Structure 1
Amino acid sequence: MSAPADELTGRTPSLLLERLNIREFRNLERVDVEPAPRLNVIAGNNGQGKTSLLEAIYFAATSRSFRTPRAAELVRHGAAVASARARFVERRDALAPLAREQTAAVEQKRCAVRIDGNRPPSLASFATRSPVVAFHTEELALSTGPASARRTLLDRLALFMDPQSADHRARYAQALRARHELLHRGAGAAAQASSELDAFEELCALHGAALTRARDAAVNALAPELSQAFARIAAPDLTLAARYAPGGSGDAEEARRALREHRRRDAHRPSAGFGPHRDDLALELDGHPARVVASQGQHRALTLSLKAAETAAIASVRGVEPILLLDDVSSELDPDRTAALFTFLGLARGQVFLTTTRRDLIVTPGIAPSERRDFHVEGGVLS
């Protein structure tokens, strides 16, 4: 699945979106665009379709939205089908570029995907073929918000390192729900000793241990990239460390024992007290919890660093620089945050799509005019 670095230059190949065709997607009725190879700035007022354009790129690459889990919401009001078709090219210095066309469509809440007109072996193989990394407003609380957001980040990276991790995660969640229902349906000894409960705990142990190992590997790949990115974006005199705080175990036998021991207690809890659904990515500044000691500006820098690290780690694993999608980057930017943003953009080595209400803030002297393209969105129309 991975493409090697160019043998002559040593540089990681870049993934480019050369052409995008959007039909009946949110408020975008018909959009056809040929982006610039480096930076694409999409400006406009709020509610005009800027975010929907980035969402369509993400959808064409992954079959998912970064805004909603409900695919039916992507279909334009009054339309039957929403689709996004993208021509992706892996641009390599020493060899001929690799090109493909990926299409994702939603009809009656069902999603269909194609690569060059053919159905891929799995959704995981589709989602990892053309890597994109999205940074949107909800991720501004990545370092301060609930652990679920940080688990999602680890799962995105784990998908590239071990595509089966997505299946393990889904099967673990399904088995955990079934165990929870059994325990709450009858908290007595008979329910707790049932063979059905044993079977669901076996699934929880096997898939949960596999998921724990996948996330542990993801943290090991992410942590060094995160430390380097934070030193560039924030301050070199501060040390940022990331470590995996597992809620379960990578050993299936240990997980099996813990689930059995916790049955009585879990029967009276809203969720199980053991397992990867309780995982977290612990972030520490100079040895102290970042959630407690970091300033508002440092949290902003930490969030940008997490996205830079995610991008770099995926590039290393996948062998191609991901496309970076940045939504609403000009919101609440003061001079310090603006400097952090442009340092972050300087770390991005691939193609970038950026939305803003303040085009005047996006000054990029290091990018040639031929490598930048500016667009305006109004009422779902791109110009």
Structure 2
Amino acid sequence: MKIELLTLYNYRNYIDLNLKLSPNINIFTGFNAQGKTNIIEAIHFSSLGISHRTRNEGDLILWGKNEANINIKFSKMDINSILKIKIKKNTRKELNFNGEIIKQKDLPGLLTMILFSPEDLMLIKGSPLMRRRFIDIELSQISKIYYNELVQYNRLLLQRNNLLKKIRENKNLITMLDTWDEQIAKKASFIVDKRIRGINDLSKLAQKTHYQISQDTEILNIKYNIYNQGNGVLNNFDDLFSFYKNILKKHRDNDIYRGSTSVGPHRDDIDFSINSISLKSFGSQGQQRSAILSLKLAELEFLKAETGEYPVLLLDDVMSELDTNRREKLLSILQDNNVQTLITATDKSLFNIHPKNKFFKVDKGIVSE
């Protein structure tokens, strides 16, 4: 997939930006707070319809304006398309794909991309929520069904939690949980089954890359961890469905007392280990960063295998966080595989002159080659 043209109107600090991108590596340099990350954010927002920096879409609109526009001209499997997004204050955004109005649920998968930001360097040490969000974004880009099932699961979860609170006041409502638990168990089983398969595939790809990065000394393993699984083996949807029906019933009294659902995919986690030793507990900072880099490179191959071509890679201010060897390894892989990449950095000297590198300067919302 390649983005040819990005147009921003009244987005963050951009009044009117028309940016023609190279199909290879695009490097944006400049001082902090000039608008480099805003370009990354706009493209990432176009992929999922959510910002990785704010929950308030009004923050994306230039101060004093009532709406912002993101237009992206891109090619996917050699088919040209145009995606237009209009963000308005105090109302829903408008989405238009090739002249047709679409809904939020239709957006994931149109633009496939991977974001690598400084926050991702905390993926291993950070909260389980970060790791769950990581795999959900990955799978949502290759499967609209997965995205829709995840949305429905979260709605059911909210409704079940509301019912649990009501049961504390009226015990006669407890029989209603049987219906909710059946639906929750089905959605949970579908989601976790897909997550397990996705993590297994990513683990194999990341393991191969990490072995090379570590000069054949470290074996990286990534494993999906089902909350409260115990010693049982859950190999497929049927196993998971039986597990969730039983465990939801087992924890019912506790859930009523807490007023929330204590088991399900919203409680699961992902474990990283090197040579069978936990990276979160015992890995050095260098090992953790190498593992994250291996994971991001694995994402490229994973999405290519699922969609038929590489996604766009967004590297937001992470090059300075990588040492010279990791940085050169990353750029070499991207150049060799013609992965369209957008990189932001404050220091241009981090990059060598290369025929596939296109440099931009960003200064107070003005972008120039």
Check whether the contact 2:46–2:85 (CA below 8 A) recurs between aligned residues: yes
Give the aligned partner of residue 330 of structure 2: 344
Is 1:42 the counterpart of 2:46? The answer is no
Q: Output the CA distance in 1 between the equivalents of 2:69 and 2:215.
A: 43
Give the aligned partner of residue 8 of structure 1: none
Check whether the contact 1:60–1:104 (CA below 8 A) recurs between aligned residues: yes
What is the CA RMSD across the aligned residues, in angstroms?
Answer: 2.1
Q: Output the CA distance in 1 between the equivalents of 2:255 and 2:346.
A: 48
Give CA-to-partner distance per residue, 1:346-368, whole Å, 9 cap, x none.
3333111000011111225xx41
Give CA-to-partner distance per residue, 1:271-323, whole Å, 9 cap, x none.
43311111112111101111122111111111111211112101110111111
Aligned positions of 1:134-213 closer than 5 A: 134-187=115-168, 190=171, 193-195=174-176, 197-213=177-193
Q: Output the CA distance in 2 between the equivalents of 1:90 and 1:208.
A: 32
Give the aligned partner of residue 207 of structure 2: 227
What secondary structure is seen at the aligned counterpart in 2 of 1:273? coil
What secondary structure is seen at the aligned counterpart in 2 of 1:143? coil
Give the aligned partner of residue 290 of structure 1: 279
What secondary structure is seen at the aligned counterpart in 2 of 1:194? helix
Amino acid across the alignment from 2:366: V
Gaps of 5+ in 1: 1-14, 92-96
How far is 1:102 from its partner? 1.3
Give the aligned partner of residue 119 of structure 1: 101
Give the aligned partner of residue 104 of structure 1: 85
Give the aligned partner of residue 15 of structure 2: 29
Give CA-to-partner distance per residue, 1:51-100, whole Å, 9 cap, x none.
00111122233333222233222111111111111111247xxxxx3211
The correspondence for 1:323, drawn from 306, 312, 332, is 312
| TM-score, L = length of structure 2 | 0.89
Q: Which has the higher helix share?
A: 2
Check whether the contact 2:4–2:73 (CA below 8 A) recurs between aligned residues: yes
How far is 1:259 from its partner? 0.9
How far is 1:162 from its partner? 2.9
The correspondence for 1:86, drawn from 43, 51, 72, is 72
Q: Output the CA distance in 2 between the equivalents of 1:378 and 1:241.
A: 42
What secondary structure is seen at the aligned counterpart in 1 of 2:100? coil
Aligned residues: 355
Amino acid across the alignment from 1:170: V
Q: Output the CA distance in 2 between the equivalents of 1:232 and 1:69.
A: 38
Judging changes above 3 Å, is the alpha-carbon distance between structure 1 residues 306 and 69 closer, same or farther for their aligned structure 2 residues?
A: farther
What secondary structure is seen at the aligned counterpart in 1 of 2:168? coil
Judging changes above 3 Å, is the alpha-carbon distance between structure 1 residues 193 and 210 closer, same or farther for their aligned structure 2 residues?
A: same
Amino acid across the alignment from 1:226: A
Amino acid across the alignment from 2:50: R
123-132 vs 39-48, which deviates more?
Answer: 123-132
Give the aligned partner of residue 363 of structure 1: 352
42-51 vs 122-131, which deviates more?
Answer: 122-131
| TM-score, L = length of structure 1 | 0.86
Judging changes above 3 Å, is the alpha-carbon distance between structure 1 residues 41 and 161 closer, same or farther for their aligned structure 2 residues?
A: closer
280-289 vs 58-67, which deviates more?
Answer: 58-67
Gaps of 5+ in 2: none
Judging changes above 3 Å, is the alpha-carbon distance between structure 1 residues 272 and 234 closer, same or farther for their aligned structure 2 residues?
A: farther
How far is 1:191 from its partner? 5.1
Give the aligned partner of residue 4 of structure 1: none
Q: Output the CA distance in 2 between the equivalents of 1:315 and 1:123.
A: 23
